Structure 1
Amino acid sequence: MTDLGFFVRHHRGLLGSIALFVVMFAIYIANHPVGLTPAVATTAANKAVLLALVAMAQTLPVLTRGLDLSVGMVFVLANCLASTLVVGTPTEGTLGILAVLGVGALAGFLNGTIVVFGRLQPIITTLATGAIFYGIALFVRPGPGGDVQSDIADLLTGQVFDTVPAALLVLLAVVLLVWVPFRRSVLGRAAYATGSNEQAAYMSGVPVERAKLLAYTLSGLLASIGGLMLTFNTYSGEASAPIAGTYTLNSIAAVVIGGTSLFGGWGSAIGSVFGAFVLRTIEDLLFVFDFDPLWQPLFQGVVLLAAISLGAVRILRIRNRLEILA
């Protein structure tokens, strides 16, 4: 097999999600009343980056064969905290951002600690901690409101050189500063090994516990970055359970569409980013074609089912699990 063939075979999920997004976005732009303008691109990017960050957060636990049902709650908690802490002067706002990110990482660390040392199922653990995080969000922001440092918000949700959406650059920075170092680190490779076969990884001396702990901690950090971006877009905070639930479920859908296996050990946060872009573009397509918004879950379900079916076909063709790594 040639190097190109090897690359395509091992990144078919990522390549498929990229191709699907390009096609759908091209259709959206072709039918938009004003076409692709900086304003249109910025609006689309600001919405898509929110889900992309939460999808990245979901990807890390999934790689270890876990599932984090609290990412949406951490997302909302960060939104509520940011609407309270990221205020005042730019310096005070920056300190508030660091505080929010610290809380997000701490929330993820709590999840990881319970999963690793408490030896509880990730789904049950994160379902319980998610309720705690939501309660804290309600305490911080009982009703919608708040504010945010306008200079920082405008900088991160506007345009660079009046052309490039700043939100995309934020997403790129997160990928380069969080995902890439994780993927290339010893613990990043350990996370993949843990998801593939935890018992074999442990017997081989792989630091399974530290890999899981880091994956959940970074998951909380990424979800809190998403909550910050939501605050910068809305200039307010709201402890909304429906928003948290929607982002949690859509993050799982984005992970699947992006080619990451829910059985662990296979996938990429980059694929999840494009999976999130696909889901957001569905909403944009319904807008330009003037469909009833109630159709959105149907189209999202069709795309998700197609992605799952493609992954299932690949698994059914495998006679030996070692073929996955071949």
Structure 2
Amino acid sequence: MKDWRYWFAENRSTLLAVAIFLFMFAIYAGNHPAGFTANVVQTSANKATLLAFVAMAQAIVIITAGIDLSVGMILTLANCLASWIVVGTVGETFLGVVGVLFAGALCGALNGLIVIFGRLQPIVTTIATGAMFYGLALLLRPFPGGSVNETLADAMTGKLIGVFPASFAALIAVILVVWVPYSRSVIGRAAYAAGSAEQAAYMSGMPVRLAKFTAYVLSGLLSAVGGLYLTFFSYTGEAAYASGSTYTLFSIAAVVLGGVALMGGRGSAIGAVFGALAFRTIGDLLFVFDFDPLWQPLFQGIVLLLAVSISALGLLRVRNKLEWFP
């Protein structure tokens, strides 16, 4: 029983995010003119995947008590770069994908190095580097254009076995390959420790600097994955400042909705993923109920406020900070 209670306490916020998403998606699918079909699920998955990747990127950094306001611009840069190099033969396309992912990881590494060794606040650092990344994106694509390997794009945004969305399968694969090993590693545990009590973690001999650096590298890598998917969806590259800024803000909203504590040390990237899925479902609900699109920010704000309020109820019962980290 104690083990069950500990597991529930550790995953309470993630389970809440799952419940919110399932509830909202059930209403959406139940009221969609086409019903609950593979095409409806595929369309919803494709729209939510981009935000899910960026939300994962944001969550990994926030767990260390940091924040990355450059994730949207890394996504934009990756999109523009992919429209140049993810083309040609199978071998050339593969090298292009590797190049885009490496560029994203490099952007994250730059953020980490400045935050750790420059000792600048993450919010200031990532605002500045985000502007730099957008400038590079604008240099690559001053006007929308380019292309992508259509065979790969169709495969990554289509359906597996004619039923399961390939984009959702890719999201699950990234969680299993990146998040699960990371969260269970020494570095991952050090990231949680740094978010809850950095000085205590450092005095305990935990690799705090390496944990924070790894978090920023993974953030850049996951943002680049999102940029790749944006290219797969649009078949082109565009240095859209508004789009990058929107994904950055929405990633923070998805993280909060997914139960990741903004003070760090608590939460899960999986919760952030379901927070992103729920956040995107709001727009789908407005579509099926034929609401004016101008109402969407209002409903997104209401859902986010409710999620934060529910999380705050648990915080009100905490007598000291140690109780917040079971």
Query: Alpha-carbon deviation of 1:199?
Result: 0.8
Paired with 2:20 and 2:312, the residues of 1 have a C-alpha distance of 18
CA distance in 2, matches of 1:64, 1:228: 26
Separation of aligned partners in 2, 1:43 and 1:191: 35
CA shift for structure 1 position 7: 2.3
For 2:87, the equivalent position in structure 1 comes to 87
Provide the residue aligned with 1:129 in structure 2.
129
* Aligned residues of 1:59 and 1:272 also touching (Cα < 8 A): yes
Separation of aligned partners in 1, 2:17 and 2:78:
28
Q: Does 1:13 align with 2:13?
A: yes
Write out aligned runs for 1:50-89 (5 A): 50-89=50-89
Preserved CA contact (<8 Å) 1:79 1:231: yes
1:34-49 to structure 2, matched below 5 A, reads: 34-49=34-49
Which aligned pairs between 1:307-318 and structure 2 lie closer than 5 A?
A: 307-318=307-318
2:110 equivalent in structure 1: 110
User: Retained in 2: the 8 A contact 1:14–1:271?
Assistant: yes
Give the structure-2-normalised TM-score: 0.98
- Superposed CA RMSD: 0.9
Shift in Å, 1:309: 1.2
Task: Please report how far the alpha carbon of residue 31 of structure 1 lies from its aligned counterpart in structure 2 after TM superposition.
Answer: 0.5
Deviation at 1:155, TM superposition (A): 0.9
| Superposition deviation, residue 5 in structure 1 | 3.0
Tell me the secondary structure at the aligned position of residue 199 of structure 2. Answer: helix
Distance in 2, matches of 1:20 and 1:30, equals 15
The DSSP-based 3-state class of the residue aligned with 2:255 is: helix
Question: Is the 8 Å Cα contact of residues 90 and 151 (structure 1) preserved in structure 2?
Answer: no
- 1:238-283 per-residue CA deviation (whole Å, 9 max, x = no partner) reads 1001100110000000000111000000000000000000011000
Deviation (angstroms), 1:4 = 2.9
Alpha-carbon deviation of 1:38?
Answer: 1.5
Q: Please, which runs of 5 or more residues in structure 2 have no aligned partner?
A: none
Deviation larger for 313-322 or 4-13: 4-13
CA contact (8 A) 1:90 1:152 kept: no
Residue 6 (structure 1) shift: 2.8
Query: 1:253 & 1:324 partners in 2: Cα distance?
Result: 21
Query: Counterparts of 1:148-227 in structure 2 under 5 Å?
Result: 148-227=148-227
Q: Once the two structures are superposed, what CA deviation does each residue of 1:98-144 show, in whole Å capped at 9, x if it has no partner? A: 00000000000000000000000000000000000000000000011
For 1:208 and 1:267, how far apart are their aligned partners in 2? 18
CA contact (8 A) 2:266 2:325 kept: no
Aligned to 1:243: 243
The separation in 2 between residues aligned to 1:48 and 1:288, in whole angstroms, is: 17
How far the C-alpha of 1:165 sits from its partner, in A, is 0.4
Q: Which moved more, 1:35-44 or 1:122-131?
A: 35-44
Whole-angstrom distance in 1 between the partners of 2:316 and 2:162: 49
**Number of aligned positions between the proteins:** 326
In 1, Cα distance between the equivalents of 2:3 and 2:184?
A: 20
Pairwise CA distance, 1:10: 2.4
1:301 corresponding residue in structure 2: 301
**In percent, how many aligned pairs have the same letter?**
61
Do 1:57 and 1:218's aligned partners in 2 also have CA atoms closer than 8 Å? yes
Cα deviations by residue, 1:39-87 (Å, 9 ceiling, x for unpaired) = 1111111111110000000011101100100000000000000011101
| Amino acid across the alignment from 1:202 | Y
CA displacement at 1:320 relative to structure 2: 1.5
Asked if 2 retains the 8 angstrom alpha-carbon contact of 1:80 and 1:239, the reply is yes
Distance in 1 of aligned mates of 2:7 and 2:218: 27
Q: Does 1:258 align with 2:261?
A: no
Shift in Å, 1:312: 1.7
Deviations 1:172-217 (A, max 9, x none): 1100111011101111000000000111111111111100000000
Q: Distance in 2 between matches of 1:6 and 1:180?
A: 19
